[in-house]
Amino acid sequence: MSPESGPLRIGALGRLSTRVALRQFQAARGDPPDAGFLRDMEMLQHKDLDLSVKAGGLLAFDGLILSAGLNPIAASPGAPLSLDALNAPGPVILAALGAALLSAAAAFCVRAIMIGEDVDTSGLEGDRQAQIQRILAACCVALDAQASRLRRASELTYAGGGVIAAGFVWSLLDKWI
C-alpha cells in the first residue's frame, strides 16, 4: 500500500508513521497549497489542542480530588479527619464510591487525550477534493468523540466530587456531634 492511499491513522493511537500522515496531507493539500484547506485544518488542530488541554486539566483535577477524598481513609487513627471503616462505614463507603467515580472520570480523560483521526482514502487517488473531505471529516469525528468523552469525564468528576464532599461532611458531623 502506498503512502498516498489506504487507511491512515493519525494521532496518539495511530499505527502509521508520521511520514505516511505527512504524505497523505501533502497529496490532499496540493501544490500550491489550498489556503482554505490549510485554515480549516488549523482550526481543527486548535480545537483538538483545546480539548486535549481541558482533558489534561480535568485529569489533574480528578487526581487532586481523589487524593483528598482518600486521605481520611489512609490517615493515622486519631487524626482529626481520619475514618475507621468499622466505626464509620458510611463515610468510608462514600469515599470509596467517590474514588471509583473519579477513577472512571480519569479513564475517560485519558481516552479523550488518546483519540486520533482515522482516515481511509483508498479509491480516492487523484481526487484531491474527496481526499480533503475525508481528512476533514475524520478530524471532525475524532473531535466529536474527544468532546463526548470529556463531557462524560466532567459528569463523573462532578458526581465523584459530590459523593466525596458528602462523605467529608458526614464525617465532620460525626466528629462534632
Question: Cell for 47?
Answer: 480545537
Q: Which three cell numbers stand for residue 64?
A: 487532586
Q: Residue 106 corresponds to which amino acid?
A: A
Whole-structure pTM value? 0.78
Tell me how far apart the alpha carbons of residues 162 and 100 are, in angstroms, rounded to a whole number: 12
Residues with Cβ within 8 Å of 8's Cβ and at least 6 positions away in sequence, in order, are: 16, 20, 21, 24, 118, 119, 120, 121
Q: pLDDT tens for residues 55-91?
A: 999 999 999 999 988 888 887 777 777 777 788 888 8
Where in the chain are the domains?
7-74+82-172
- pLDDT tens for 98-143 read 999 999 999 999 999 988 777 776 777 778 788 888 888 888 999 9
